[in-house]
Amino acid sequence: MDSLQALQHKQQNHVKSAPRSPDNKGLAGSSEAIKQVRFLIDQVADSDATVLILGESGTGKEVVARALHRASSRHNHAFVPVNCGAIPAELLESELFGHEKGAFTGALATRQGRFEMAEGGTLFLDEIGDMPMPMQVKLLRVLQERSFERVGSNKTIHCDVRVISATHRDIEQAIVENLFREDLFYRLNVFPIEMPALRERVEDIPLLIKELSSRLKKNKRATVTLTPDAVNILMQHTWPGNVRELANLIERVAIIKPNGLVDVADLPAKFREFSVSDEIVVEQAPENFLELAQEMEDKLEQAVVQKVFSAQLPEEGMDLKEYLNEVEISLIKQALDECNGVVAHAAKLLNMRRTTLVEKLKKFDL
């Protein structure tokens, strides 16, 4: 009877826990972009489907991976992250699959790999786009057969692991350049989730600041409050480092003014310069700005119609992307000329955010 009870107890321990409601900690915001991310997490969390999280560095891809794990039936088991780009190629196989004692120089003891550590749980392969091609072949086999061997062993180990991966790279372009296996891409990309850049959801910045400050307080560190003017200035920044850059900024100002009120003057120089330039822009605004805006709008409409709809396709074909870039560059130059080089006013004429226009100026080297 004791043996039967022990067997039943063992079986119960192997049954995965019931899934929990998605925990979206770290995904603060009310923008449509982040709402879509939370919706996708909700849809796929309790599936064992592989998920590929795409997005620029610092957007919060690991936050999404952890949210998927916490909301799944595997949440009582380990979440094991691996940065594929941070581990030397010659060590990555041992890191993922483990090794036997004496398998190579320096292998002084048998060691479990990350797949074994994640048994019953989730393995998060961050920066999967940096994985060397030989290792991609071995990962593909594990995904197909759900088994592997430690380095230096011929004993097959079966695994029950959900794989979530992430990358900031354009994987499809990497496939074209023979840097990534197409078959592995399809295995990993069963359910893609794309993380928006922070500049694409600036309306979430106030809520993100609040959450980041609360996190500091929870960790018993100095917290911080920003004035509306300071928050407004931050919402106009382009955020090349995304949420990670914002988190670093909040931590920095909390050190400078612990538990204090942070105004524009307390922000780093690059933000203050942005504020000053905007004040100068307002002072230099032409008196006939509204009339000029309407005139420019008419010109832009005429230019688009003439350039696009009257265009003739050459017999030898054309580079459509390059052609459209030329149209865009021409219109941006016209807008800047009309506004005496004032970017904020040119952005209004083009019906886009100032930060978007700044990004385009950098892109086209204008």
pLDDT in tens, 233-279: 999 899 999 999 999 999 999 999 898 899 999 999 888 765 544 44
Q: Which domain holds residue 250?
A: 199-271
Number of domains within the chain: 3
CA distance 49 to 68: 11
Does 357 or 136 have the greater pLDDT score? 136
CB 151 within 8 A of CB 98: yes
Quote the pTM value. 0.70
Mean pLDDT along residues 331-352: 82
Is 41 part of any domain?
yes
**pLDDT tens-digit profile of 295-322?**
655 655 565 555 555 556 677 777 777 7
CA distance 341 to 12: 70
Does 273 or 184 have the greater pLDDT score? 184
CB 242 within 8 A of CB 56: yes
CA distance 18 to 301: 57
Domain boundary at 196, 223, 244, which?
Answer: 196
Predicted pLDDT at 362: 82
CB 342 within 8 A of CB 284: yes
In order of 112, 121, 145, 165, 175, the CA distances from 139 in angstroms are: 16, 17, 10, 12, 16
If asked whether residues 47 and 159 sit together in one domain, one would say: yes
156-158 and 147-149 beta bridge pairing? antiparallel
**Residue that the structure tokens 């290792």 belong to:** 135
If asked whether residues 329 and 356 sit together in one domain, one would say: yes
Predicted pLDDT at 45: 94
Mapped onto helix, strand or coil, the DSSP state of residue 258 is coil
Residue 299: which residues within 8 A CB-CB, separation 6 or more? Answer: 334
Is 162 part of any domain?
yes
